[in-house]
Homo-oligomer: A and B are copies of this chain.
Amino acid sequence: MAKEVVEKDEASVDVLPPRNPARTGLMTASPDWSDDENGGLNPRDYVSSLARGLEVLRAFNRTRRKMTLSEVAAETGNTRAGARRILLTLVHEGYAVADGKLFDLTPQVLELGYSVLSSKGAWDIARPFIDHLSSELRESVSAAVLDRFDVVYVSGAQYHRVISVGITVGARFPAHCTATGRVLLAAQAPEMWPGMLQHIPLTRMTEHTVTDPTEFRRVLEQVRDQGWSLVDQELETGLMSIAVPLHNPSGGLVGAINVGIPTVRMSAATAIEYVLPKLQETVLNIRESLKR
Residues of A at the B interface (CB closer than 8 Å) are: 16-17, 19-22, 27-31, 41, 44-54, 57-58, 60-61, 64-65, 84-86, 88-95, 97-101, 105-120, 124, 127-128, 131-132, 145-148, 152, 154, 157-160, 164, 166, 168-172
Contact = CB atoms under 8 A, between A and B. Distances in A.
Contacts of A108: 29, 147-148, 152
A152 B112 CA distance: 13
B29 A97 contact: yes
A247 to B, nearest CB: 18
**Copies of this chain, tallied across the complex:** 2
A160 B132 CA distance: 8
B29 A98 contact: yes
Nearest to A116: B107
Contact of A110 (B47, B146, B170): B170
A259 to B, nearest CB: 17
Contacts of A89: 45-48, 50-51
22 contacts: A19-B93, A19-B94, A20-B97, A21-B92, A28-B97, A29-B98, A41-B92, A46-B92, A47-B89, A48-B89, A51-B89, A51-B92, A61-B113, A61-B115, A64-B115, A64-B120, A94-B147, A105-B113, A110-B170, A111-B113, A117-B170, A124-B168
